[in-house]
Structure 1
Amino acid sequence: MHHMIWSAPAAERPGTHLLVMLHGYGSDETAMKAIFPSLPAGVTAVALRGSFTVGDRFGWFLLDPTLEADAADVLQAGSELLATITSLQQQGSFTGVSLLGFSQGMAMAVTALRLRPSGFASAVGLSGFVVESELLAMAEPLANPVPFFWGRDRADWVIHPDAIEAGRRWLELNTLLTARTYPGMGHRIGAEEMRDIAVFLRIFALGADKYKVTEYRSD
């Protein structure tokens, strides 16, 4: 089980939608707390800590500066994440589960979605990338694509252009993609982006049982 922090006390969680938050490389779960106040009513967030040690901080798997990673390490981290999510679902009466990942956390959110494609109502990926996996690609495109919000700054120096293009291809083939860019934001989560995330979650997480999901693209 991963270390975690919650956006609401235990008594207030039943009957809400669970949003699993995944931080970036060399960070920890506290970095995701800034998003808590922006979440719509009815969404409970849990920010998890990656189990891979990066100095005195954490990540999800070993990552080199070119964003290359060992596919087996990524799959192992994804399996451990899904085990934690299953445990959280068993502990609380949540109406559904969505994912939100920043930077390497986006790679983890996508990996969880690829491993359990029917397990999530929606997903959010911020300033991140998608790890290539020949094994997982054998079962793709995903049969039931979920709504996915992808936010970034075009001038983000951390995620290189090849990774952006590879991520775009995967998202367009496997999700119902909402893409947004935020000039001047850099490699972080911006205030305007948080407002857009709240709208997305209100429609596609909380409204999953009320609205027929249709594809919505923009950039």
Structure 2
Amino acid sequence: MTSSNPSGDVDTQSAENSAREPVVVWSRPEQERQGTPLLILLHGHLANEDDLMGILEFLPDEFTVASVRAPVAMGPGFTWFPLQHDAAYSVDKVTAAVQDVVDWVDSNRGGHSSVSLLGFSMGMAVATSMLRARPADYAAVVGLSGFAVPDEGREFFRDEELQANPVPFFWGRDQEDPVISPDRIEFTHGWLNRHTRLTKVLYAGMFHSINVQELGHVREFLQLSVPGVSRTPPQR
């Protein structure tokens, strides 16, 4: 996904306020957020909080969008946790990163009519983990070209609660995605089928990215899944 800044007013929340407070870029100034549904964007490995803001024009206008920066600086951007094939990876590092975002959401959800999540690549792993930690907190979740992580028995993941009350989930990907390994796809597919109200769409020739057709489907999914979001066409 190519980095892009949205048009209009955007304010950035500084991480200097707290060592564990994420950097966030918003689509609206604070005085315009009251009563709106909140959509949280979670970028992929080695990207940053600006990376997904280029999709704003494709999303329903009713949303206030907040794009969150991952906590660990790496290479040209940031990452949420070590890659699963790295020796430094552990599920505890996943849950620590996710808990920080959950805590931030808790401090910012007030005044919003609902909260939904959209994650790309590793950001989808964060989004699914947030959903599993707080199954009743989210109206809908979108996962793009990403995966879910095995829980390894951690109580952090409340999968039984989610399975009892599944949340609408959109999963878009290309079968030829060269980044997400087949074993992670197999696990993710099985987990989503068991625990969510899954809408799954495959896109040929997209590889590890996001395309306009997919964004049109994401818009429709959010319009159908999130209360108070109208079925208006994008203004482009």
The reply on whether 1:121 has 2:139 as its aligned counterpart is yes
The offset of 1:56, in angstroms, is 3.6
2:103 equivalent to 1:83 = yes
Mapped to 1, the partners of 2:86 and 2:109 lie a distance apart of 35
1, 8, 17: which is aligned to 2:37?
17
Structure-2 separation of matches of 1:195 and 1:207: 18
Gaps of 5+ in 1: 211-219
User: Quick one: structure 1 residues 169 and 86, their matched pair in 2 at CA, closer, same or farther if it must change by over 3 Å?
Assistant: same
**Total equivalences in the alignment:** 207
TM-score, with structure 2 as normaliser: 0.82
Q: CA deviation at 1:103?
A: 0.3
Structure 2 CA distance, aligned partners of 1:68 and 1:145? 32
Residue 173 of structure 2 aligns with which residue? Answer: 152
Residue 187 (structure 2) pairs with residue 169 (structure 1):
no
Deviation at 1:68, TM superposition (A): 9.0
Structure 1 residue matching 2:199: 3-state secondary structure: strand
Instruction: Give the 3-state SS of the residue equivalent to 1:132 in structure 2.
Output: coil
The two structures, once aligned, show a CA RMSD in angstroms of: 2.0
Q: Deviations over 1:88-120 (max 9, x none)?
A: 113xx1100000000000000000001000100
2:205 to 184, 197, 203: 184
Contact 1:127 1:188 in 2 (8 A): yes
Question: Is 2:73 aligned against 1:49?
Answer: no
Give the partner amino acid of 2:173. Answer: R
**Residue aligning to 2:83:** 63
Q: CA deviation at 1:58?
A: 0.3
Unmatched segments (≥5 aa) in structure 2? 1-20, 231-236
Q: Could you tell me whether the CA contact under 8 Å between 1:100 and 1:125 is conserved in 2?
A: yes
The answer for the alignment partner of 2:13 in structure 1 is none
Contact 2:70 2:80 in 1 (8 A): yes
1:45-74 CA-partner distances (Å, limit 9, x unpaired): 100000012124101111145799311001
State TM-score, norm by structure 1: 0.89
Structure 1 residues 67, 125: CA separation in 2 closer, same or farther (over 3 Å shift)?
A: farther
Q: Structure 1's 119 and 162: CA in aligned 2 closer, same or farther, altered over 3 A? A: same
Instruction: Tell me if the contact between 2:117 and 2:142 (Cα under 8 Å) persists in the aligned partners.
Output: yes
Deviation at 1:139, TM superposition (A): 4.2
What is the match of residue 96 of structure 1?
114
CA distance in 1, matches of 2:172, 2:217: 9
User: Following TM superposition, by how much is the alpha carbon of 1:41 offset from its aligned partner in structure 2, in angstroms?
Assistant: 2.0
Distance 1:192 1:132 in 2: 30
Match of 1:140 among 144, 159, 168: 159
Secondary structure, in 3 states, of the residue corresponding to 2:159? Answer: coil
1:40 matched residue in structure 2:
60
- Please tell me the residue identity of whatever aligns with 1:108: V
Pair 101,89 (structure 1): closer, same or farther in 2 beyond 3 Å: same
Give deviations 1:118-160, integer Å, cap 9, x for gaps. Answer: 1001100000011111224974332211000000011000011
Report the 3-state secondary structure (helix = DSSP H, G, I; strand = E; otherwise coil) of the residue aligned with 2:109. helix
CA distance in 1, matches of 2:92, 2:23: 23
Distance 1:8 1:160, change over 3 A: same
Distance 1:61 1:181, change over 3 A: same
Partner of residue 73 from structure 1, selected from 93, 100, 104 = 93
